[in-house]
Amino acid sequence: MRVVLRLGAAAGSVLLAGLLAGCPMTASGGTGECDTDRDCVTSVCARDHLCYPASSVREVRVTWTVRGMVANSQTCAGSQDLQIAFYNNNAGDDALGFAPVPCMIGQFLIDKLPTSYTEVELGRQGSFPDRKSIGSTNVVEFDLR
């Protein structure tokens, strides 16, 4: 699985300024860059590679069916690979995306997702994805058409 982080021009400028200051920050509240929890001292290293208090991250599970049927090798024959992206509601922060995501597994689990990421987008690679809000259950269900 490959992580794709896209930075817009504004976010890139903020990141560069933060790096030069020695303590990168984002509008979403993450402080300090990290690769593991050990890099964060009293916080956790979230999937966007920034440190957050443990209370500011969550596990989110995205599930999908294909035309109302369980995702498997037959129902996913026309769309082997999907792409998924989580969107932050803070201006200047970009999506946290993953591709390829195998269709036939029928679910995608992400732990340590900052709570500022409030929407998820799922779709076939190269097509128009569907977007939904992440609710209080932290489970988002899609039906691919």
**Domain span holding position 138:** 55-144
In a domain, 128, yes or no: yes
Q: Please give the torsion angle defined by the CA atoms of residues 47, 53, 54 and 59, in that order, rounded to the nearest 10 degrees.
A: -40
Beta-carbon count within 10 A of 13 CB: 12
Q: Are residues 80 and 98 in the same domain?
A: yes
Confidence check: pLDDT of 143 > 50: yes
Instruction: Tell me how far apart the alpha carbons of residues 113 and 103 are, in angstroms, rounded to a whole number.
Output: 21
In a domain, 1, yes or no: no
The per-residue pLDDT for range 95-133, each reduced to its tens digit, is: 999 999 999 999 999 999 999 999 999 999 888 999 999
pTM above 0.85, yes or no: no
Q: What is the 3-state secondary structure (H, E, C) of 44-85?
A: EECCCCEEECHHHEEEEEEEEEECCEECCCCCCCCCCEEEEE
- For the chain, state the CA radius of gyration: 16
The per-residue pLDDT for range 8-65, each reduced to its tens digit, is: 444 444 343 433 333 344 444 567 899 999 999 899 999 999 999 999 999 999 999 9
- In this prediction, residue 15 carries a pLDDT of 40
Q: Are residues 114 and 72 in the same domain?
A: yes
